[in-house]
Amino acid sequence: MDRFDWKPFAVLSVLLGYLFVFGKLYTLMLLTRAGMYCIVTIGMCLLVGYAGQVSIGHAAFYAIGGYTSAILTIRYGVPLWGGLVCAVALSCAVAFLIGIPTLRLRGHYLAMATLGFGVIVYSLIHSSIEFTGGSSGISGAPPLTLFGTNLAEDGGIFYFLFVWINVAVFMLLAGNIIRSRPGRALMSIHGNEEAANAAGVNTSAFKLKVFVLSAGMAAYAGFLYVHYDGFIGANSAELMLSVIFVAMVAVGGMANLWGTLCATVLLSLLPEFLRRTQKVKAADLPDFIHNSLGLSDTQIFKLIQKFQELDVLIYGLIIIVFMIFMPQGIFTGTADMFRTLARRVRAVRGKRRVSDAS
Amino acid sequence: MSLLSQIIQFTFSGLANGGTYILVALGLNIIYNATGIINFAQGEFAVFGSFIMITLCMAWGIPAPVAFPITVLALAGIGALFHRTAIAPLKKPSVITMVIITIGGSIFMRGVAMLIWGKYPQRLDPFIDAPPIRFMDAIIKWDTLLVLVIVALVVAALYWFFEKTVTGKAMRACAENREAALLMGINVDRIVLLSFALSAALGAVAGVVYTPGASMEYGRGPYFGLRGFEVAIIGGLGNSVGAVLAGILIGLFETFSAGFLSPTYKEAITLALLLLVLFVKPSGILGKAEVARLKDF
Amino acid sequence: MLKVQSLSTNYGNLRVLHGVSLHVSEGEAVALIGANGAGKSTLMKSITGLLPPRKGTIQLFDENITAMAPARVIRRGIALVPEGRKLFATLTVQDNLMLGAYHRYAADRAQLDTDLERIYEIFPRLKERRAQLAGTLSGGEQQMVAVGRALMARPRLLLLDEPSMGLAPTIIEEIFAVLGDLQKQGLTLLLVEQNVRLAFAMARRAYVLETGRVALQGPVDELMANKEVKRAYLGKGYKEVWE
Ligand SMILES: Nc1ncnc2c1ncn2[C@@H]1O[C@H](COP(=O)(O)OP(=O)(O)O)[C@@H](O)[C@H]1O
Ligand SMILES: [Mg+2]
């Protein structure tokens, strides 16, 4: 673990490079969003997976970041970097204040406290209409510019690159934290705090640091989002988003950064994938479906339309299925699966060879 | 409206809401006591209960007194199914995986509710269609009184179940000491299944008493769930007497703060109370956790 | 009556019992002694089905009850008074006793009150405290509830896991007097004890368990004479003899 693991980076770069050259603009946009979520979930992975602290309220920090920067830059003409600093600082400050009492709690109590916090922030954003625009949100946030270029121009290719470079930087940062002394101590004993404390690691300080860091990262992602889209609404603080963040970490295998990254990209593309299926026309479907179901074209059309509403349901299903069948996460889980498969195949081949020989 | 009649008005609607929360919280406690799991899908049981009742009454025209028990039974089945499909197969349950898996379950159920009943709110006719009682300018609906009666009856029935029946005692025994319960020949797995069924049935009652004269939409689960958590925590997790007291408290607190402080920030204010209790006294208002457990029924 | 043959039991990957064999005949009282961590409680758990063994067999009369679920084991007449009593602390004394008869509750309902009275005759103190929460009793009274609860199952074979642990001598005497009476009335006992003198006063035969294996076995008087047993289990009073 001490040597830098370059392989995943290489794979990622090749994939991203491919997309950069051949990808459609729309795909780029989706992946830019996914990259922003990755920034949130990398922090969440440190918090939930490594420090063992569940948070079901991280969308609140994402929203705080986005709203702070949007309000400051639009209403008060603050420059972008000012918005960024304030967004991250405010989010970290809130996380610090909330974190001190919250992180004393454990298990279910911690989950409920963070959940309560998240919903409070949502309802504050939703209700403070003069300030946040309530349910209609805020629009018109200035686009992000770097070295005089508007990153969102040209279909956002540069934005895409910029976000993913950020993801890479945060991955490195997270890796360093995991390899740091307190990080290693926490990981090696699987979040057993008594043991860590006994080993001389101040776990509560470490937990608070990770909590504040993850809140700051979420805020940064919110900032990136609002200056990409120009718009932010109360749904950015929704409970569902917080839950999706946790789900991404869980599906990734909890204490697994690369798994989290994978799961984040896949899960953020899922609603889009389902939306695409809606475009399928009833007539395109093979005859046997019509025949075997005995449905008319309009009925099938309605069914297909319903299909796009399935994203909520499928999210739920994915979480349950992963927790039950692949608790080690998508990355390790798939690798394990292939390994078992390979072993089986080898065993079968071996047997055959033995039987051939005899 | 005079201050006094306002107070009367708020008291009644606060109690009615509180009654709903009590039922959700008792459902949470039952599962918590039997398994140590907090079921984050508890609010979804209430939503399903409400929707099934709406379908039975409004679409199929079944009279409410018949539809009500059908709904409760249906939810008991759903609760049992939830346990069998989502909870029981888990090999290495830890608090984190349990939190995440029950959240997964709640999202799944929300998705199903949206698929079946659509995205728009649905209405349920009042149970008692009589002109409301007027008492010093305060208007009290008959349904409000009915809710209070139903909640009182359910609480009494639960008390009877856990204090007087051998199955109820066996359920408490499982909660208390799983291994000893097994030694008594109690089928712990079946008791846990039963606790999920019972808990879902309670959720159904909560959903049903909440809806008449109002409406239900698929996304309401977290609202019920959060209020249920709040009541359960403030009453002391697993403590049912505490839950009843805390339910009344939260119901009143919510309506009075909405009425006198700020209707806009009702949600935030009510939840702030949850955080306050969690930070100051996570074992709940009834004091030490051990004492609270001894008072459990 | 009970026959355990080369039983091996694990906690996860950790093997705790390594091929333990023992037998108990009907009407007999057998003692099982051994140091802390020898695996005595694990053996009790294996017999009652709480912790299914990995290897070996357990036979009750002619029936193979290996790895049978606890609910079925108790129906066949084996009850365990577990280590540390494991009462249902927030239930009343009477409820605890009644739950002891859970497995025959529906079938035997008319009989239960008589059985309960019998327990109260054996332990009159419990009758006074019938409505009290079990968790609020003294240690000795709790042990009485634990024994009474197991008796309510109407066992043919009673397993006791260190019933004297942490109790005052007078209480121990009282409880062991009761156990002695029960044995005379025909109840078969398998008694796990660290207090070897106590165990040997009660039993005819004994097994010595050491790190998951039966190290010694035989009639109690023979074991009493054994130097190893004296040194390891009979403590100070025998020290001079050994030295
Ligand atoms: N729940 C458990 N998980 C893992 N190991 C256990 C567990 N219970 C007991 N052990 C281990 O099994 C061995 C035997 O324990 P036990 O049967 O309780 O011994 P005894 O009752 O003779 O004191 C000990 O080494 C103990 O550490
Ligand atoms: Mg022991």
Q: Which amino acid is at C81?
A: V
Query: Three-class SS of residue A149?
Result: strand
Looking only at the bridges linking them, the beta strands covering C188-193 and C14-24 are unpaired
Choice between B65 and A147, residue whose per-residue pLDDT is larger? B65
The conformation of residue B260, written as its DSSP 8-state character, comes to: I
CATH placement of domain A7-256: 1.10.3470
Cβ-contact A108, B102 below 8 angstroms: no
Cβ-contact C39, C212 below 8 angstroms: yes
Q: Which of A158-167, A184-193, A262-271 has the lowest mean pLDDT?
A: A184-193
The two three-digit tokens of residue B243, written as one number: 């839950």
Q: Which amino acid is at C202?
A: M
Instruction: Say yes or no to pLDDT of B293 above 60.
Output: no
Q: What is the number of the ligand closest to the CA of C36?
A: 1
Q: Which domain holds residue B195?
A: 18-219
Cβ separation of B96 and A52 shorter than 8 Å?
A: yes
Cβ-contact B87, B39 below 8 angstroms: no
Choice between A342 and A354, residue whose per-residue pLDDT is larger? A342
Cβ separation of A123 and B272 shorter than 8 Å?
A: no
Check residue B35 and give its pLDDT: 84
**Is B121 inside a domain boundary?**
yes
Query: At what angle are helices B188-210 and B64-82 packed, to 10 degrees?
Result: 140
Of B276, B287, B198, residue with least CA distance to B230: B276
The model's pLDDT over A313-340, given as tens digits with 9 standing for 90+, comes to 888 888 888 888 888 888 778 788 888 8
What is the number of helices (H) and of strands (E) in chain B? 12, 4
* Residue in C with minimal Cα distance to B187: C71
* Residue in B with minimal Cα distance to C46: B183
Contacting partners of chain B (3+ CB pairs under 8 A): A, C
The model's pLDDT over B147-194, given as tens digits with 9 standing for 90+, comes to 999 999 999 999 999 989 999 999 999 888 889 999 999 999 999 999
Check residue B291 and give its pLDDT: 41
Query: At what angle are helices A58-75 and A25-44 packed, to 10 degrees?
Result: 120
Cβ-contact A132, A148 below 8 angstroms: no
pTM for this entry = 0.86
Give CA separation, A303 vs A143, A293, A309, in Å.
39, 12, 10
Q: What are the chain B neighbours of A127 within 8 Å (beta carbons)?
A: 264-265, 267-268
The two three-digit tokens of residue B125, written as one number: 């006719």
Looking at residues A250-275, what average pLDDT do you find?
Answer: 86
Q: How far apart are the first and last CA of chain A?
A: 46
| Side-chain-facing half-sphere of A152: CA atoms under 13 Å | 13
Cβ separation of B185 and C88 shorter than 8 Å?
A: no
Cβ separation of B279 and A102 shorter than 8 Å?
A: yes
The model's pLDDT over B20-33, given as tens digits with 9 standing for 90+, comes to 999 999 999 999 88
Number of Cβ within a 10 Å radius of residue A4? 8
ipTM over 0.85: yes
Looking only at the bridges linking them, the beta strands covering C55-60 and C213-219 are unpaired
Cβ-contact B74, B44 below 8 angstroms: no
Of A102, A116, A319, the CB nearest to B104: A319
Q: Which of C8, C20, C42, C54 to mutate to test the pocket of ligand 1 (most atoms within 8 A of CB)?
A: C42
Check residue A203 and give its pLDDT: 75
Cβ separation of A315 and B111 shorter than 8 Å?
A: yes
The total of structural domains in chain B comes to 1
Instruction: Give a three-class secondary structure readout of A72-89.
Output: HHHHCCCCHHHHHHHHHH
**Is B228 inside a domain boundary?**
no
The model's pLDDT over C87-98, given as tens digits with 9 standing for 90+, comes to 999 899 999 999
Q: Which domains, and CATH codes, for chain C? A: 23-52+66-77+156-243 (3.40.50.300), 89-154 (no CATH)
**Is B12 inside a domain boundary?**
no
Of A108, A124, A314, the CB nearest to B268: A124
Q: How many contacts, defined by CB atoms under 8 Å, are there between B and C?
A: 69
Using pLDDT thresholds of 50, 70 and 90, give the confidence band for residue C239: very low
The two three-digit tokens of residue B20, written as one number: 């709903």
Check residue A9 and give its pLDDT: 67
Ligand 1 atom nearest to C209, measured from its CA: 22
Distance C36 CA to ligand 2 centre (A): 7
Of A21, A14, A38, residue with least CA distance to A169: A38
Domain limits, CATH 1.10.3470, in chain A: 7-256
Task: Identify the sign of the CA torsion C113, C114, C116, C117.
Answer: positive
Instruction: Give a three-class secondary structure readout of chain C.
Output: CEEEEEEEEEECCEEEEEEEEEEECCCCEEEEECCCCCCHHHHHHHHHCCCCCCEEEEEECCEECCCCCHHHHHHCCEEEECCCCCCCCCCEHHHHHHHHCHHHCCCCHHHHHHHHHHHHHHCHHHHHCCCCEHHHCCHHHHHHHHHHHHHCCCCCEEEEECCCCCCCHHHHHHHHHHHHHHHHCCCEEEEEECCHHHHHHHCCEEEEEECCEEEEEEEHHHHHHCHHHHHHHHCHHHHHHHC
